[in-house]
Amino acid sequence: MTAPAAAAAYQELAAAVRGDLIMPADPGYDQTRAVYNAMIDKHPAAVVRCRDTADVITCVRFARAHGVQIAVRGGGHNAAGLGVWDDALVIDLSLMRSITVSPGDRTVRADAGCTWGDVDHATAAFGLATPSGLIASTGVADLTLGGGIGYLSRRFGLTVYNLLAADVVLADGTFGTARADCHGDLFWALRGGGGNFGVVTSFTFACHDIGEHGTIIGGPVFYDFAGTAGVMAWYRELLPSLPEELSGWFGLGAISSGPPGCAYPLSTQDVPAADYPKIRAQFAGSRWPDLRIAGTAYVDLAMQLSTARYTDGYQTVWFYQRLSAACAKHRR
C-alpha cells in the first residue's frame, strides 16, 4: 500500500529533477500513463519522465523518504502493464535513449528507455547485432531482465547471455555498475530476475557480426489449423537437426489474408541472394514447401512486424482481466 506523499513534496521533486513531473491534473497525464497494451488503465500518483541517471536516483530517494511505491517504465511494452501502477510514482525512462556502439570491441551501450528498434538501427550500421526480440517496439530493459529471446538467439544465445554490464540505481538510492567481476551477485540476479533488484539505467551488450548487409532470409509458412499438433511435433524434432543460423517461431492464430493456420517466420543470416535457390531446394519436398524465401535486412525484420501487426495501442487480454471487459473495451 502506497502512502500518499503531500502535494508540496511532489513540488519539491519536480524542482529537483531535469525531466518533467506529471500529475493527474496535468495535461498529458493520460498520454503519459498509457502503455503499449491499451487494456491497461492504471492511475499513478505521478510520472517522472527522467532525463538522466541523476533523475532516477532522485526519484528512488523520494519514494523511500515518502513511502511511495515505485513502478519503472522501460519500453512500456509489458502486456501486463507492469511499467505503470495505481498510486505509484512511475519512473519513466522513455526519454533516456542514447546509444553508443563500439565497433572495435563489438559492444553496444544502450540507455534503459531504448526500444530494440533503436538498438538494431544503431548496430546495423556497423554490421553488428545483439540478440533481441521479434519485434522492434519491445523495450530493451525488461526484455533483457527477463531473459530475452529472438531471431538471433539460436545462434548467439539469449539476450541476457550477451549482457556485459548494467548500470543500476539500487533501492537505497545508491548507484553501481554490475558486471561479472564487480557486484557479481547483482549481475547474476539481473540476468533473469526482472525489475526486482534496482532500476537499471543502461545496459552494455556484446555484439555479433551479421555480415556487411545484415541480410536475413526467410518468411512465413502457413498450415491448416487442424494439423497443429502434428506440425508442432514435427517442428520440435526438426529444429535441433538444422544449423544454428536458422531459427523459427511458432504462432497460432487467424490471419486476415487467409485461413486460420500456424505460421513460421524463419530466419538465417547474411546469405547472398545467389544462394536463395539452394536454400529453397533444401526445403523442397519437406513440410516447408511454401516457404516464401526473401531477403531483408535484419534491422528491418523486427520493424516490419511491429509496424504491420503489433502497433502501440494493441489490445492484449491479460490473464487477470475478464474477457467480457476486454470485449466491451474492444467494441468501443
| List of residues contacting ligand FAD (CB under 6 A) | 35, 72-79, 82-83, 93, 112, 133-135, 138-139, 141-143, 145-146, 148-150, 195, 199-200, 310
**How far apart are alpha carbons 87 and 281 in whole angstroms?**
58
Do 260 and 254 contact (CB within 8 A), yes or no?
yes
Residue in the shown chain whose Cβ atom is closest to ligand FAD: 139
- For ligand FAD, the closer of residues 34 and 279 by Cβ is 34
Positive or negative, the CA dihedral 179, 181, 182, 186 is: positive
Do 215 and 298 contact (CB within 8 A), yes or no?
yes
- For ligand FAD, the closer of residues 54 and 279 by Cβ is 54
Least separation in angstroms between residue 30's CB and ligand FAD is 17
Closest by CA position to 22, among listed 55, 48, 61, 52: 48
DSSP 199-261: EEEEEEEE-EE--SS-EEEE---EEEGGGHHHHHHHHHHHGGGS-TT-EE--EEE--TTSSSE
Grid coordinates belonging to 219: 518468411
- For ligand FAD, the closer of residues 174 and 286 by Cβ is 174
What are the residues whose beta carbons fall under 8 Å from the beta carbon of 322, sequence distance 6 or more? none
Do 134 and 249 contact (CB within 8 A), yes or no?
yes
Least separation in angstroms between residue 295's CB and ligand FAD is 21
- For ligand FAD, the closer of residues 279 and 317 by Cβ is 317
Least separation in angstroms between residue 213's CB and ligand FAD is 23
- For ligand FAD, the closer of residues 61 and 287 by Cβ is 61
Pairing state of beta strands 107-111 and 199-206?
antiparallel
SS3 for 226? helix
Least separation in angstroms between residue 64's CB and ligand FAD is 16
Least separation in angstroms between residue 89's CB and ligand FAD is 12
Which strands sit side by side in the sheet containing 99-102, from one edge to the other? 99-102, 107-111, 199-206, 163-169, 175-179
- For ligand FAD, the closer of residues 206 and 279 by Cβ is 206
Distance (Å) of CA 192 to CA 7, 26, 141:
37, 36, 11
Residue 156: exposed, middle, or buried by beta-carbon count in 10 A (0-12, 13-18, 19+)? buried
- For ligand FAD, the closer of residues 112 and 207 by Cβ is 112
Least separation in angstroms between residue 158's CB and ligand FAD is 8
- For ligand FAD, the closer of residues 117 and 148 by Cβ is 148
- For ligand FAD, the closer of residues 107 and 153 by Cβ is 153
Least separation in angstroms between residue 196's CB and ligand FAD is 8
Least separation in angstroms between residue 246's CB and ligand FAD is 17
Least separation in angstroms between residue 152's CB and ligand FAD is 11
**How far apart are alpha carbons 136 and 132 in whole angstroms?**
9
